With several copies, the nearest count.
Chain A
Amino acid sequence: MELKRLEAVIEAILFTMGEAVELERIAAAIDHDEETTKKIIRNMMDQYESEERGIKIIELESAFQMCTKQEMYESIIKIAHIPKKHVLTDVLLETLSIIAYKQPITKQEIEAIRGVKCDHAVNKLVEYNLACEIGRLDAPGRPILFGTTEEFLRSFGIQSLEDLPVVHPEKVEDFKLEAEEEIQLKLDI
């Protein structure tokens, strides 16, 4: 392999690994002895340093690691300061409403209601501190029970879950009637 190609391979390896990689392993990967490999990497270090680049290679004992240059920190902090816009998607809203009304509830039960997996949604709600674990169900596998948090109550300005608007049983009856009518329509065709 010609030098340029070897450099590319080393760049790819250091990038993927992220952490420090021992010289020995890099040498084995490019099929050259350690002495030659070290020379190639040192040469690369100079290149990264002299060119206007965002990344560089550092040497640690007999290992090498790729990292960002110090002077880039300020700009990277900006990215951290402009976090991804957190929004409550429809999926999250539905899941939250089910947890609020049906708590304590397991993921499996939420899935049964919505008909789709809910791991991601529940995890997000936990991350946002709107839902949390409130125990374990006494059943095989002891699944986690979820409920809403104090933060949830505070956000809606309510004292307790009893303050949640009530879902009237008649309403559910209405839904059933509607559904029956819809089916009847289908059968009439």
Chain B
Amino acid sequence: MSISFKLEAFEGPLDLLLHLIDKNKINIYDIPIVEITEQYLEYIQNMQTKDLDLMSEFLVMAATLINIKSKMLLPKDETKNETEEDPRQELVERLLEYKMYKYISVELKDRELDAARIFFKESTIPKEIEEYKEDVNVSDLLSDLTLAKLHKIFESVVKKQVDKIDPIRSKFGTIEKEEINLSTKINEIQEYGIKNKSFSFRGLLEKQANKMEIIVTFLGILELMKIGQVIISQDNLFEDIQITFIADRIAEFDESIVLN
């Protein structure tokens, strides 16, 4: 099946999922998860985007779909009396909600067109009246604000800022500051691939110095799969993945793919 348009056209993972459901004319309440998951993965494989943040959001959705798919393939637990919730339920709810806002935003756009046809007027206060304008009374403004209160407010601002910092990841201080260049890593993998032709995924990861390098290596493999430089195979579930380098030369990569 040929992909006739670019994935970048989608706003996000839900948008793509909605499109697939639309295209297949499927009832949103009854998504054939296997079919949709396969199509979804196919789209992701053809993704042209280099935005890793965006890419990861699509991947999360793909993982969700696969998770649901696997749950549905598992035999029902007979020992449990209560009726188990359909694993698709939550996804369906999210999709319906998203669909509703998409619909509303079109309505809003329509209203905006109408509203744009009216004109307002600048305020034209006559001079005599303008002079009556009162100054803002600062002491009234600050009437119930004490220094202690101001101090408390600042503390809560600082607290909020601290909360935003992930204490676990922030401990990789020295590593984080070191920029790992995705394109460099991809080239390394390619050189390794030309030399070794076929190699173990696990083995490759074990050669990495730290977590960040492992992540970048993993992303590099994904990227190489996407452009068809490598193919992967796995004999059984949870077994090591075998990577085979099928290209005959190293593909050039944009230097701008940098992971901080």
Bound CA–CA A57/B106 (angstroms): 26
Residue of A nearest to B72 (CB): A189
Q: Would B167 and A88 count as touching, CB distance under 8 A? A: no
Q: Give the bracket for the number of chain B residues in contact with chain A.
A: 35 or more
Q: From residue B79, how far is it (CB to closest CB) to chain A in Å? A: 24
Q: Would B12 and A18 count as touching, CB distance under 8 A? A: no
Residues on A with beta carbons closer than 8 Å to the beta carbon of B136:
83, 86, 127-129
Instruction: Give the contacting residue for A94; candidates B111, B120, B153, B163; CB below 8 A.
Output: B153
| A85 contacts chain B at the CB level, 8 A cutoff | yes
Residue of A nearest to B144 (CB): A88
Interface core residue of A18, A100, A183 (most chain B CB under 10 Å): A183
Bound CA–CA A94/B14 (angstroms): 13
User: Measuring CB to CB, which residues of chain A are less than 8 angstroms from any residue of chain B?
Assistant: 12, 15-19, 58, 65-70, 72-73, 76-77, 80-81, 83, 85-88, 90-91, 93-94, 96-98, 100-101, 113-117, 127-130, 140-143, 151, 154-158, 163-165, 167, 171-172, 175-176, 178-180, 182-183, 185-189
Q: Is the interface of A mostly helix, strand, loop or mixed?
A: helix
Q: Would A158 and B129 count as touching, CB distance under 8 A? A: no
Residues on A with beta carbons closer than 8 Å to the beta carbon of B158:
167, 172, 175
Q: Would A77 and B101 count as touching, CB distance under 8 A? A: no
User: Measuring CB to CB, which residues of chain B are less than 8 angstroms from any residue of chain A?
Assistant: 11-15, 24-30, 32-35, 53-54, 57, 61, 72, 94, 97-109, 111-112, 114-126, 128-130, 132-134, 136-142, 145-148, 150-151, 153-168
Q: Would A183 and B14 count as touching, CB distance under 8 A? A: no
Q: Would B126 and A68 count as touching, CB distance under 8 A? A: yes
Interface core residue of B33, B136, B137 (most chain A CB under 10 Å): B136
